[in-house]
Amino acid sequence: MFSHRSRFNRSFLQRALEHRQEKLAIAAAALEYIKDGDTIILDAGTTTLALAQLLKEQVKSAFVITCSVPSALELASAGYDILLLGGMVRNKSLALLGRETLRIIERYRADKAFLGSTGFTAEMGHSTPNPDDAQIKEALIRAADETYVLVDSSKYGHSCLTSFAQLRDVHLTITDSGLPHGKAKTLEAVGAKLRIAEVVKKADLNREPAGDTDASTAVETPSRNDQLPLRKKRRR
């Protein structure tokens, strides 16, 4: 599953295995928004790592900016241009944090940013328990034309110490079908744009036709404009 398993700490590997099918379904849905030649930002975290694993199999060319050591290692063999942001390495998440990381982020622009979230609620939006992590996420959002937050449904209802984005302020929140319909409506009522990825369980995977590698069937809730904004031309 991981190309560099021995280099990851046990805590990170354990979290990567939690809700694995949900994370794969979310990553597969997120992948649909990435085109060849895009400049993208990948946040640290296990769901964005799942996206990195799918990305290298299905996207031929990309410029990837990341604060995630595992994602950089995962993509090292893909032939992409990869910018690994500098800074201090946080042991638990293997994320790069700190003033140096913030300074570097400010020098770059990206088409799309894909962020993780530790908790999400209608009241607090997306949040994280680490204020330094929140600062990095806020900077990544400012650096991108569009922001996608990838978060599995088990994190719904958790309000962590620091909010880094209100739901209405991100382009799309991608979660899985474990989120109850009523809860999704509550989030939409405060301006959230959701995409719900249907999780393919192991028993269902055994019934998949040969050659079918789709990890999810995603359902996007309608926006006020009934469609996603057109992709902006990349800035140079």
| pLDDT for residue 207 is more than 60 | no
More confident residue, 220 or 125: 125
pLDDT in tens, 86-107: 999 987 778 999 999 999 999 9
Q: So what CATH class is 5-220?
A: alpha beta
Calpha distance 150→49 (Å, rounded): 11
pLDDT band at 149 (very low <50, low <70, confident <90, very high): very high
| pLDDT for residue 44 is more than 60 | yes
For the stretch 167-172, contacts whose Cβ atoms lie closer than 8 Å and that sit 24 or more positions apart, written own/partner, are: 167/120, 167/122, 167/125, 167/126, 167/191, 167/192, 168/192, 168/193, 169/125, 169/141, 170/115, 170/126, 170/141, 171/112, 171/146, 171/147, 171/228, 171/229, 172/33, 172/146, 172/147, 172/148, 172/220, 172/228
pLDDT band at 232 (very low <50, low <70, confident <90, very high): very low
Distance of alpha carbon 179 from the chain centroid: 17
Task: Please give the average per-residue pLDDT across 144-155, as a whole number.
Answer: 97
Note the pLDDT of residue 18. Answer: 75
Note the pLDDT of residue 147. Answer: 98
CA 92, 94, 97: angle at the middle one, nearest 5?
100
pTM of the model: 0.81
Calpha distance 216→3 (Å, rounded): 23
pLDDT in tens, 46-82: 999 999 999 999 999 999 999 999 999 999 989 999 9
* % of the chain exceeding 90 in pLDDT: 73
Calpha distance 92→207 (Å, rounded): 37
Note the pLDDT of residue 151. Answer: 98
Task: Please give the average per-residue pLDDT across 148-173, as a whole number.
Answer: 97
pLDDT band at 17 (very low <50, low <70, confident <90, very high): low
pLDDT in tens, 133-143: 999 999 999 99
Note the pLDDT of residue 93. Answer: 76
Name, in order, each residue with C-beta under 8 angstroms of 112's C-beta and a sequence gap of 6 or more.
33, 34, 38, 40, 41, 144, 145, 146, 147, 148, 171
Calpha distance 25→21 (Å, rounded): 6
Calpha distance 135→164 (Å, rounded): 7
Domain ranges of the chain: 5-220
Task: Please give the average per-residue pLDDT across 8-22, as a whole number.
Answer: 68
Note the pLDDT of residue 70. Answer: 92
Contact in structure between 60 and 49 (CB atoms under 8 Å): no
Note the pLDDT of residue 66. Answer: 98
User: What are the tokens at 119?
Assistant: 């908790």
Note the pLDDT of residue 202. Answer: 62
